[in-house]
Structure 1
Amino acid sequence: MNEKIKNKLSQLPEKPGTYQMLDVTGKIIYVGKAKNLKRRVSSYFVGAHDEKTTRLVRDIDDLTFIITTTEKEAFLLELAQIKKNLPKYNIKLMSDSTYPYIEVTNERHPIIRTTRDVVGKKGNIFGPYPNAFYANETVKLLDTIFPFRKCSKFPKKVCLYYHIKQCLGPCEFEVSEDTYKDLIKRVRSFLSGNTKEFIDEYEEKMNMYSQRLEFEKAQECKDLIIAIKKTTEQQQVIFNDNLDRDIVNFVTYDNYVSINILFMRNGKLLFSKSKIFTYYGIVEEVLLTYLAQFYEQNPLPKELLLPHGYNYELFDEVLGNIIITPQRGRKVKLLEMALENASSHLNNNLSAFLNKEKKTIGALTELENILDIDSIKRIDIFDNSHTSGQNLVSAMVVFTNGLPDKNEYRKYKIKTTTQADDYQMMKEVVYRRYLAVLMDDLPKPDLIIVDGGLIQLRAAKQVLNELNFDIPVIGLKKNDRHKTEAIITKAEMEIVLDKHTNLYSLLYKMQEEVHRFAISFQRNVSNKTIYGSILDTIPKVGKVTKTKLLKKYKTLENIKNASREELKELKISEEAIDNIYLALKQTT
């Protein structure tokens, strides 16, 4: 323990708050919260510790702390600091921790679709589902059984779906709200496992078609019956109270924790998911941090079952008193099941996890050594894109701990030049991003990568110097086959990459990802520009109307197919609607 830490320990109050552990570079490597700062922080530096805590303490060079009024405030502040600083020894969930749901949209004429954006939404949300394939297949089945509209934009006439009785045809015919309410009620019943009436209905139809020798239609009914049974066959009824529950348990080994969540909806067990993390500190705090981040991205259940023997009082207060820690009965059996799943996942996947972690850590360590950087946690990568000098855009992707962090991705329309000037484009995007970082106190990267050679690198260096933003920056150069070839360092030295190394694989993945993201954004902007220029020529269609149309319909074809009633809902005049139909008839 050095003198800095000794002095800080003597200053710690016996009050609630958060503490931040810093390494020799001044980077925050661990954030924690405490009911009593003095007692909690001092415990790291006295007595014997296990290997994982010893490893953490060994890296601590300094510490800071923030006093709060209550332990709840400290807990919420801890979560915010973890999200902002990405400390090395804290768990941070990535953007793949959400699950697909099925939504019946809250519209006058609803549609059924899959979505992951459900937090805060009220209404007809069903799930979660274990993966997108399962959710999409269920939506296909629902669309076959229930006649909700299938078109994203209304055509002028009914389509095939109406004629095969898979749509009510709201584009031509009036459909009452009560009709939709009844449909939604039946969907809810179906997804709750009450499928007998549907199976009976299709069995009756199948027999009828067979008697009429209409074997193709009979086979369609048989296929539907099989699909319906398959949808619900794995739903095990555990409770008859129809409550939504999540059941969470965990197991640890060394400094690894395997956490399992069982998802129960309407009293039925749907599926389970397990994850392995490296952790440091107290496992109880790790569990609570994990769950707090998880439920920022996923809806809360009515009940959250957690293993007995830990203090969840604070966390229960934050979540709204939904935690139950049973000690007997069927709920204990569920926790035992989650524990068994967590243990099995750890036993079966720890080697693969360690291998992947080793490769990623190895690649980042190699990059740290090449660039002489102490620690690389967050990497911001930039790329420019345009179409023959038009529709200039830039994009930024972020990799955290060697993995894409899609919640942090950003898009930029270039404003300072109208020409495909790579130097100016890179200057603008780097300036805009890191001015915002400085002004709004956004997370700082450990490394900046620009996709390109000396031109892009020099542009980024100039801006970073002007902002006095002292972050390492490199360029990633491609060969004549447009494949990753070399690093160009800040000193403008070229380092050719060995294609057989973990570092090459990681940098190649980063370069491909930022290119994909930039190209996707550029195509979107290009399409809007083309459509917008046509709309600009239509009389009585001003800037506001054009924006409304493009925001809602995306393409000219969709605008052309929109009904007059739909366009009126956007507060567009009759004369403007006539002009729109006339112009688009001539151009599309």
Structure 2
Amino acid sequence: MSAEHSDTVLRDVAALPSLPGVYRFYDQDGELLYVGKARDLKRRVSSYFQRAHDGTRIGHMVSRIARLETTVVRSEAEALLLENNLIKTQQPRYNILFRDDKSYPYLRISASTWAAGQDSDPARPDPGHFPRVSYYRGPVDRRHQYFGPYPNAWAVKEAIELLQRVFRLRTCEDTVFAHRTRPCLLYQIRRCSGPCVGHISPADYAADVRAASAFLQGDSDAVLAELQARMHGYAEQLAFEQAAQVRDQIGALSRVLQQHAMESREDQDVDIIAVRVQGGRACVNLAMVRGGRHLGDRPFFPAHVEDGAALADVEAQARSPEQHVLEAFLAQHYTQTPPPPVLVLGAPMHDGLLDALSEQTGVRVRAVFHPREQRAVWLELAQRNAELQLARLLAEEGSQQARTRALAQALGLPADDPEALAALRIECFDVSHTAGEATMAACVVYEGHRMQPAQYRRYAVADVTPGDDYAAMRQVLLRHYGKRVEGLRAGADVRLPDVVLIDGGVGQVKVARAVFEALGLDLGRLVGVEKGAGRKVGLEELVFADGREKLTLAADSAALMLVAQIRDEAHRFAITGMRARRAKARTGASRLEDIPGVGPKKRARLLARFGGVRGVAAASVDDLTQVEGISRALAETIYAALHGGANA
């Protein structure tokens, strides 16, 4: 055992059981350094302390270990799940980390309330009798059908357009459907069968829905056979118009099948995963095949690649960085997203991980490392896309790092230390309003050579003279930095920015200077971005609060490009917040949402009946009670809320 560590750590290591579990390493400040899983905790954790790792990434991490924690579990699958939950929630410094992304989108076909043999009034069709196809992202409701997941929104929309061309399913909202009196444009261009005006029966529409579902599941042969049977049936009944419509569907479907060269009749659901590692960064390209159709791909860029690859498996350093990254992706991605039965991988993976995934997800996962025929084509495309995406990322990061370095040099900050540049934090403030209405201030953050949207903040400005930008800026700076100064005085660990950009000239900088002086903050942090001659982009000047002369940067300066990037982002964030606040104030939408007893369904019925919030506000109590679900007491509550508490 290493002599560099305390007796407590070494005793804890020696006392570990030879059982599966998860281990966690902490430094002396309590920061989580690394999370790992092991089939045998004693053997795995001991390996970190039984070898000399001097001068390596492993050695640097091991030298910082001051405390360890372990959790014993029943199986490697449980260890896999716990390990990656901890990695995602606590983001250890030395683990390969795939950032949380938005949930995957799905294509949804809503449930039908129509049953075979049920009567339907063609003069007033019920939206519930005609399922709607739509883009969906969120929790699953078992009443509806879901297809996917799709790699991106574009792939879902392409699939919806395909269903419109072939099966002519509706995409309109139920409220729009219920108020149609004549067919819409989609019906005119043969993208909808017109159920809203009774141009198709619920039975025929249900048949189209079944065919669309089968097609999305990859059973195109059965769909063609059913359509041909329907066409012949209509012909025998002398219903030649309906037969011609089905014939057109068959033609459209045949053209679609011919156009999809990536289609596979053997593989229905497959994920293809390619990995490329270069320059300390990695790209995992995930391509999806669902229902035999290639839906597109999606790139992932993990953090801590070099450290994580070095520490992922101390006992098996012969594995390549690609294998470590691939293992981390499989473990983190498929513990949240159900895997398909077949994975086509660009690097070999040990069976233990696949067995653990199968046990944890309930899906028997089979991996293919040396694909042939169509699978080989898919993998080659995924590998090529991974290379292109990684090259783009490295080029962008190189350019962004050059911009950060140039701005640091221009402002007189340290620019030679890569770690210091990566830690450089810039906060930028902007104020937006419309002739003094709905004033909104915004703060955006730049750190680690990129914008940090999760740290953005908006401030609704109140109690200032409309249009007084100086007062608005004074208020937001006091609110933003006043709390931080209080935290610093209380001994809290508070990070102040290295640079504070103010979107404005000398006047705004004077206001900011007064606030910083009152709070006891360093004036050297304050920099105003003043528009140059003619207020043209590229002619901005930097104004310093500490008395330095104005700084004019060349139009092609990398430093000015970064300043413009951050300033424009602050302006965008402020103006979108202002517009939302202005719209809220003008329409009164929030008032209706805040009324007790008025949920989404009742609110939708009210808006549909009266044409908007203003119509609801203009309605009497008697008018409100005519809406389904609105009792007399609730109508009086709504009326009073929309009229400032006035009596009905």
Query: Normalising TM by the smaller chain, what interval?
Result: 0.5 to 0.7
Q: Which residue does 1:168 correspond to in 2?
A: 195
Asked if the contact 2:24–2:34 (Cα under 8 Å) also holds between the matched residues in 1, the reply is yes
Preserved contact between residue 263 and residue 270 of structure 1 (Cα < 8 Å): yes
Matches of 1:479 and 1:514, distance apart in 2: 15
- In the aligned structure 2, how far is the partner of 1:433 from the partner of 1:566? 53
Describe the shift of the 1:437–1:121 C-alpha distance in structure 2 as closer, same or farther (beyond 3 A).
farther
Would you say 1:189 and 2:214 are equivalent positions? yes
Q: Which residue is 1:477 aligned to?
A: 529
Q: Deviations over 1:247-288 (max 9, x none)?
A: 434344564434232313235443344556672132455434
The letter of the residue matching 1:150 is C
**How many angstroms apart in 2 are the aligned matches of 1:190 and 1:434?**
61
Does residue 401 of structure 2 align to residue 361 of structure 1? yes
Please give the per-residue CA displacement for 1:359-387, whole angstroms capped at 9, x wherever unaligned.
Answer: 12222344455434453277655433222
Tell me the distance in 2 between the aligned counterparts of 1:229 and 1:427: 63
- 1:349 and 1:181 map into 2 onto residues whose CA distance is 43
Return the alpha-carbon distance in structure 1 between the equivalents of residues 590 and 277 of structure 2. Answer: 61
Q: Distance in 2 between matches of 1:29 and 1:488?
A: 41
Change beyond 3 A, Cα 1:219–1:376: farther
Matched, 1:312 2:346: no
Secondary structure of 2:146's aligned partner: strand
Q: 1:169 is matched by which residue type in structure 2?
A: C
Amino acid at match of 1:93: R
Residue 183 of structure 1, CA deviation: 5.9
Residue type matched to 1:148 in 2?
R
Match for 1:300 among 335, 338, 344?
Answer: 338
> Identical aligned pairs, as a percentage?
15
Correspondence 1:112 to 2:133: yes
Q: Which residue of 2 aligns with 1:428?
A: 479
Does the Cα contact within 8 Å between 2:287 and 2:297 map onto a contact in 1?
Answer: yes
TM-score (norm 2): 0.63
* Number of the residue aligned with 1:259: 284
Contact preservation (8 Å) 2:98, 2:302: no
What stretches of structure 1 of length at least 5 have no aligned partner?
A: 584-588
Q: Deviations over 1:62-95 (max 9, x none)?
A: 555551324554543232222xx7x598544375
Shift in Å, 1:424: 0.6
Query: Deviations along 1:160-202, whole A, 9 cap, x unmatched?
Result: 43675644329x99998x9987665443223234353698699
Structure 1 residue 533: deviation in Å? 8.7
Cα separation, 2, equivalents of 1:339 and 1:132: 22
Deviation at 1:304, TM superposition (A): 6.2
In 2, Cα distance between equivalents of 1:158 and 1:28? 61
Q: Do the aligned partners of residues 158 and 341 (structure 1) sit closer, same or farther apart at CA in structure 2, a change above 3 Å counting?
A: closer
Residue 527 (structure 1) aligned with residue 583 (structure 2):
yes
Deviation at residue 546 of structure 1 after TM alignment: 8.3
Q: 1:287 aligns with which of 326, 331, 341?
A: 326
Q: Is residue 505 from structure 1 mapped to residue 561 from structure 2 by the alignment?
A: yes
- Structure 2 counterpart of 1:168, which letter? P
**What whole-Å deviation, never above 9, does each CA across 1:506-537 have from its counterpart, x for those lacking one?**
3322322232232122212211211119989x
Q: Quick check: 1:452 aligned with 2:478?
A: no
Q: Which amino acid aligns with 1:375?
A: A
Matched, 1:33 2:26: no
Tell me, yes or no, if structure 1 residue 76 matches structure 2 residue 74.
Answer: no
> Residue type of the partner of 2:564?
Y
- The question of 1:127 aligning with 2:148 is answered yes
Where do 1:554-569 residues align within 5 Å?
A: 557-558=611-612, 568-569=628-629
Aligned runs of 1:219-230 on 2, under 5 Å? 228-229=256-257
SS of corresponding position for 2:395: helix
Partner Cα separation in structure 2 for residue 345 and residue 566 of structure 1: 58
Alignment of 1:197-236 (within 5 A): 228-229=256-257, 232-236=260-264
Residue 6 of structure 1: CA displacement?
3.6
Match of 2:266 in 1: 238
Name the CA distance, whole Å, in 2 between partners of 1:267 and 1:474. 58
Task: Please tell me whether the aligned partners of residues 513 and 526 of structure 2 are also in contact (alpha carbons under 8 angstroms).
Answer: no
Q: Secondary structure at the match of 1:568?
A: coil
| 1:445-496 deviation per Cα after TM superposition (whole angstroms, max 9, x unaligned) | 8667554242674488579869xxx999655514152747355678575654
- Consecutive unaligned residues of structure 2, counting only runs of 5 or more, are 17-21, 73-78, 113-126, 310-320, 415-419, 617-622, 644-648
How far did 1:391 drift? 1.8
- Counterparts of 1:271-420 in structure 2 under 5 Å? 271-275=296-300, 279-281=305-307, 282=309, 283=321, 284-291=323-330, 294=333, 299-303=337-341, 305=343, 307-309=348-350, 311-312=352-353, 316=357, 319-320=360-361, 322=363, 324=365, 326=367, 340-341=380-381, 343-345=383-385, 347-348=387-388, 350-367=390-407, 370=411, 371-372=413-414, 373=420, 375-376=422-423, 381-397=428-444, 401-404=448-451, 406=453, 409=456, 411-414=458-461, 419=466, 420=468
Aligned to 2:573: 517
3-state DSSP class of the match of 1:360?
Answer: helix
Of 24, 27, 30 in structure 2, the residue corresponding to residue 18 of structure 1 is: 24
SS at match of 1:236: coil
Deviations 1:529-564 (A, max 9, x none): 11119989xxxx994478969975999854589998
Paired with 1:114 and 1:143, the residues of 2 have a C-alpha distance of 13
Residues 1:423 and 1:570: Cα distance change in structure 2 (over 3 Å) = farther
CA change 1:417–1:88 in 2 (3 A) is farther
SS of structure 1 residue aligned to 2:568: helix
* Alpha-carbon offset, residue 295 of structure 1: 5.3
Q: Secondary structure at the match of 2:431?
A: strand
- What amino acid maps onto 2:628 in structure 1? K
The alignment's TM-score, normalised by the length of structure 1, stands at 0.68
> Does structure 1 residue 158 correspond to structure 2 residue 180?
yes
Q: CA deviation at 1:293?
A: 5.2
Take 2:430 and 2:30, find their aligned partners in 1: how far apart are those partners?
27
In the other structure, the counterpart of 1:586 is none
Residues 158 and 526 of structure 1, relative CA distance in 2, 3 Å threshold: same
Q: 1:355 to 1:572 in 2, by over 3 A?
A: farther
Q: Is the 8 A contact 1:251 1:257 kept in 2?
A: yes
* Aligned with 1:93 (options 70, 86, 99): 99
CA-to-aligned-CA distance 1:199-255 (integer Å, 9 cap, x gap): 869999xx9xxxx99xxx99997995587447755332233xx5x443434344564
Instruction: Summarize the Cα distance change of 1:157–1:404 in structure 2 as closer, same or farther, 3 Å threshold.
Output: same
Report if the CA contact (8 A) 2:440-2:459 is conserved: yes
**1:308 shift after superposition:** 2.8
Closer, same or farther in 2 for the Cα pair 1:276/1:173, shift >3 Å? Answer: closer
